[in-house]
Chains A and B, each alone.
Chain A
Amino acid sequence: MTKKINIYQVAYKNLLRKKTRTGLTILGIGLSAWVLISLLGFNRGYEAALNKDIDNMGFQVLVTAKGCPYEAATLMLKGGTGLRYMKESILADILKHKEVERLTPQLMAAIFDPNKGESGGINAYLGVDPVTFPAMKSYLKFKQGGWFTDPTALEAVVGYEAAELEQREVGDKMLIPEKNIEFKVVGILARSGTADDGTIFMPLKTVQKIFDKEGLITAAGIKVNKDANMTELENKLYDLPDVQVVSMAQVKNTIMSLVSTAKVMVFSIALIAILIAMLGVINTILMSVLERYQEIGIIKSMGAMPWDVFRMIWTETVILCLLGGVIGIGIAFALSKITDILIRRLLPYTPTGSLISIDSQLGFITLGVVLGIGLLSGIYPAWRAARVRPLESIRSEGD
């Protein structure tokens, strides 16, 4: 049998007196911890998922000739006109910048197809470099076939939507109207949910040759180094003659500003949840102190100093918050997928990756925050208990 007992054991056992009340308080703290860690995880996860989505676009910056439409849909809207060209030599100038990790040239070409639809339509072809483009757009998966067999081959890779529309399969031959040149479909892309789904890709050199644009490109996609200063790079690129710079950072900022409104709302809810949990802790411990008023007086008559009593009561709040925190963090880990679904329903736009990024580091941070709140909440009840005078409790039973 143990011959020792310490303040911490006493504090722990004190919490067992009113198990339901203690349990409910722990549950309240747990829920707050769950909300808190999920929000911190969301804060981190959302941005990471958005970055990943933008990374999946293959490039964060697109440099085009000034006024040139930079994707097929815009080109269609302009009736296939308005294309502007840059010399291929510009690639070397762009690559000089330390912020640039990788670069891929593109040449867009458009031609009127009288057989398209009822009264004809525009066919757009995107000439891409067979080496750098697939490497940069590694997320593109094939439904059928694969990339071009040769950099000058008369071959095409068709986006998912374009293939559906044209009813094309690998091995089919397609004709470029006016040019009367046939090319072979060597790959059909799987759906990516991006503009690539509606694009017909051909080797850059082939497109340059067919459309007499040798040495010219319409755009250069740039993948930027991770830690690079995007704004600085944009400013440098604008120094190049007659170019326009389209940055995905702008897109990201727009989305983030949309989401920040939702974030403020959700953080407000978290703050309210934490305040409620805090009040719950104060209430539980204060009630417990008042119920044990006489007992605390007797403990002081046994020789407990005010600091001893303060420590004992404070320990009770720490135990509550520790247990609640651990349970809440456990729930957050276990239910992160469900939380993900719930948040997706709340937000106007969500990236494709995991929205909640919770790891052990975040778990410890949350536990620290919950413990901090617990320590703060415990101050008043502990101070009240420390001030109990033994005489006050004893007087109630004497004459």
Chain B
Amino acid sequence: MSRENNLALEAQHLTKIYKRGAEEIVAVDDVSLTVRKGEFVSFIGPSGSGKTTLINILGCLDNTTSGSLKISGETVFSENKCLSESDLTKIRRQVFGYIFQKFYLVPTLTVYENVLLPFAFFKKAEANADPMEILRFLGIDKRTSHRPSELSGGEMQRVAIARALINKPEILLADEPTGNLDSKRSVEIGEILKRLNEKEGLTVLLVTHNPALAGIAHRTISLHDGKIA
């Protein structure tokens, strides 16, 4: 396998500039990085360091101002290529699974229905045929008929993880997934991410403030003022 084929992501000179009135804010400043398939990379840095902006660009949730991005060897962004929202959606549904600090479960759906929710919009051919397999893996198979309001924070985040995994993503993006959890639950979620990476071979990109959580990754990238420190 060539080096390029082995890369999940390849970013070159990514820069993101926001305009707030006349002021320009450089959120990501000339960042270049590569992530191998099956790698677990964490991004750490203080608030305002640009880690969420960077992961949003890497996860095709946002366009870049300049620089290029390749996913599995395919160019997504380049100097003259800025994708529409629909094009970004097409990439997102094929490649990524997302988990966030907030769980965003639909309160009127059961755990099982929340996990199946992505199927209402899109189902990959290789998607998990048996959602119960994921629920068992995450230890919430006994809570399938419960509603989110009947779950603990840790359980809700597991449901959110199951939902992110249902379409068998190539890359899992986790943005502060333990930000709303106590330390014990944070460790549990960290272990789940580790297991997904090790047993399922899933590429994981983790954004966190928590150095201990960042430490479970193969590699930690520190960001400061939008640059890799």
Binding site for B on A (CB under 8 A): 1, 3-7, 9-10, 13-14, 16-17, 294-295, 298-306, 308, 389-391, 394-395, 397-399
Contacts and interface: CB of A to CB of B under 8 A. Distances in A.
23 contacts: A3-B131, A5-B109, A5-B113, A5-B116, A5-B117, A5-B120, A9-B113, A10-B106, A17-B108, A300-B89, A302-B92, A302-B93, A303-B89, A303-B118, A390-B92, A394-B100, A394-B175, A395-B56, A397-B101, A397-B102, A397-B175, A399-B51, A399-B53
A394 B48 CA distance: 15
A180 to B, nearest CB: 94
Nearest to B86: A305
Interface in B6-60: 47-53, 56
A302 B163 contact: yes
B213 to A, nearest CB: 16
A67 B179 CA distance: 100
Contact of B100 (A6, A389, A397, A399): A397
Contact of B119 (A5, A295, A305, A397): A5
Top 8 nearest A-B pairs (CB, nearest first) are A303-B93, A398-B52, A303-B122, A304-B121, A13-B108, A298-B104, A302-B118, A399-B47
A305 B89 CA distance: 7
A17 B163 CA distance: 21
B167 interface: yes
A13 B106 contact: yes
B215 interface: no
B103 to A, nearest CB: 9
Contacts of B86: 305-306
B121 A299 contact: yes
Give the interface residue-count category, chain B: 35 or more
B175 A398 contact: yes
B211 interface: no
Contacts of A14: 106, 108
B104 A294 contact: yes
A303 B109 CA distance: 19
Given A5-B113, A16-B108, A303-B167, A394 B61 contact: yes
B109 A13 contact: yes
A304 B122 contact: yes
A304 B89 contact: yes
A4 B93 CA distance: 18
A10 B56 CA distance: 27
A10 B92 contact: no
Interface in B110-157: 112-113, 116-122, 131, 144
A308 B122 CA distance: 10
Interface string B170-182: 0000011001000
A1 B144 contact: yes
B176 A397 contact: yes
A399 B102 contact: no
B85 interface: yes
A297 B117 CA distance: 14
Contacts of A397: 100-102, 175-176, 179
Contacts of B144: 1
A17 B105 CA distance: 13
